[in-house]
Amino acid sequence: MSRSDKGAKRVAEALSRPGPHEVLRGDLALVGLPGVVFSPRRGLGLPAVAFGHGWLQPTRRYDELLRHLASWGIVAACPGTQTGLLSSQRQYAADLRTTLDVCSGVRLGDGEVSVNPGKLGLAGHSMGGGCAVLAAADESRCRAVATLALTETLPSAVAAAKRCDVPALHLAAGKDRIAPPVGHAEPVAQAWAGPVQLRTLPKASHLGFTHGRHWSDLLLDGSPEGATRRTSRALLTAFLLHHLAGSSEHDALLDGDLPGAARQQLAGEGQPTG
């Protein structure tokens, strides 16, 4: 293992653990949009990310990840709309943009938390990842995009990626039978107009990024995986801290090859995200 890879592993281990902030959980429904929001107990001018849930998935399956991001100083919110079989991906992308409006437009917690409108990002899992790309293509405030086991959407996330010039991190699942990387995350990464990283977690399944049990486990592929969640939350935290909070403290993880989540070379790849 090279020195840079050892550095990436050390940072991943640190970022997979909770950060220094005490975390509050709130309800987006109080401002008219079903969903959840996690934030540090206090802090002004914080970064924020709107996170999209996967197809059929309740927001609670992402509470662990959202809470983790908040513990590192990032306000993280997930709209709980479009959870049915016939969900509208176009509408869910709009709901993600509305979530950014909510996070940046109101004081959170007990009024001791505010978000800087210049530090906004979009992220998501499965359908929510594709919808994050759709939202980013029409959201000038977005500064970064991250996806987990992204699925193609209608309208097309691949087409939308051509209009996204902000940094992106796409994490694909090597054992994904719902959204194999070659037909979903890879085309989006190839089409991305800005700096982009694509990493495949070879042992991960489509639902490996989620937490807890749900009836959709019987319908979809895979199940929650502790190792997948640890690796992905470390990478997402490093990426969002760099591009939304302006922190370079954890760049060794973005610049190095993490065992089990190595960077993939893309044809005509531009500048790295780190």
pLDDT of the residue at 197 = 97
**CATH classification of 3-255, choosing from 3.40.50.1820, 1.10.3720.10, 3.30.530.20, 3.40.50.1000?**
3.40.50.1820
With tokens 């640190």, the residue in question is 14
- Confidence at residue 27, expressed as pLDDT on a 0 to 100 scale: 92
Q: What confidence tens digit (pLDDT) does each residue in 229-269 have?
A: 999 999 999 999 999 999 999 999 999 888 889 888 886 55
Please enumerate in sequence order all residues whose Cβ is within 8 A of that of 158, keeping only pairs 6 or more positions apart, or say none.
Answer: 152, 187, 188, 191
DSSP type of residue 266: P
pLDDT recorded at residue 6: 76
pLDDT for residue 262: 82
Q: What order of strands is seen across the sheet that includes strand 196-201?
A: 23-27, 35-40, 75-79, 43-52, 113-125, 142-148, 168-173, 196-201
Instruction: Check if the beta carbon of residue 86 is closer than 8 Å to that of residue 154.
Output: no
Q: Model-level pTM?
A: 0.94
Q: Which three-class secondary structure state does DSSP give residue 262?
A: coil
**Counting Cβ atoms within 10 Å, is residue 14 exposed (0-12), middle (13-18) or buried (19+)?**
middle
Domain boundaries along the sequence of the chain: 3-255
What tens digit of pLDDT does each residue of 2-39 get?
A: 555 678 999 999 999 999 999 999 999 877 899 999 99
